[in-house]
Structure 1
Amino acid sequence: MSDSANITLVRRLYESGMAPEVTAEILTPDFVWDITPGFPHGGIYHGWDNVARDFFGPMRPNYESFGSVPEHYYTDDHGHVFVLGHYHAETKTGNKADVRFIHLWTIRDGKIAGLVQAADSHVLQQALNS
């Protein structure tokens, strides 16, 4: 895939809001979701079913809303797309937070094979715990 095709693929995932029909089409079966330690439910997840059930499942009940806002996309010559942006979160208790992130996506054979995330976990933890 070309660099712009890789960015288009990742952009499609964000724009879909991780819609099930999109994730089924563009993620590899062995997809790896690596969330920074300290982030709520941080850890490494294998396959989208594991991500949906064990990452998003316990996370969603804590928020009125939570979304990724990608701001800048970059690519390299090795099948990676880097996205700088922020999460916008509103907790069930009414606290709001904008949390900076960087996402490193790995593209393999025209599909997304992995994510490595780093984010300002402290800001989100404060919103959840205050």
Structure 2
Amino acid sequence: MMRNNRDTVAAFYTALAGGDAAAALGLMADDINWVGMEGWPYRAAGRGPAAVAEGILGPMLADWQDLLVTPATFHDAGDVVISIGRYSGVHSVTGKALDIAFAHVWTVTDGKLAAFRQFTDTLLIDRAMR
């Protein structure tokens, strides 16, 4: 069954929430361009699902207890899908809670997540980590 672009993006968040990293990474194009917000403490080294797993998802899951990346709304503009939601969790070292808004801009090409751009308040994550 073919998914529409909004459903492909939603499936990524569903896989993350279910702890299925393989499914989340499997939705990505081999050369996904992942761009985090300036000041965001996690960075992918290079392009592709392996870079995202090693530079972003793995470290985030190690640093945060009960980490949730929860989209509240999706705005489908064809090849571009924008999700608005919240990051939440508790930092495993500081014990400080995180609850911040995000906007994610996704580009979907041929049913795969081809690009990601993040917008969020990096000061608030920095405060939770210190």
How many pairs does the alignment contain? 126
Match of 1:9 in 2: 8
Q: 5+ unaligned residues in a row in structure 1: which ranges?
A: none
The range that moved more, 100-109 or 36-45, is: 36-45
What SS does the aligned partner of 1:103 have? strand
- Look up the match of 1:73: 74
How far does residue 60 in structure 1 lie from its aligned partner after superposition?
A: 3.1
Structure 2 unmatched runs, 5+? none
Change (3 A) 1:25 1:52: closer
Give the superposition deviation at 1:25.
Answer: 3.5
Give the alignment's TM-score, normalised by structure 1: 0.86
RMSD over equivalenced CA pairs, Å? 2.1
How far apart in 2 are the matches of 1:20 and 1:45? 19
TM-score (norm. length: structure 2): 0.86
SS in 2 for 1:39: coil
CA distance in 1, matches of 2:68, 2:57: 12
Runs of 4+ in 1 over 6 A off after TM superposition: none
Identity %: 25
Deviations 1:53-112 (A, max 9, x none): 1223333332223220100100114x0000000101211122111111000000111211
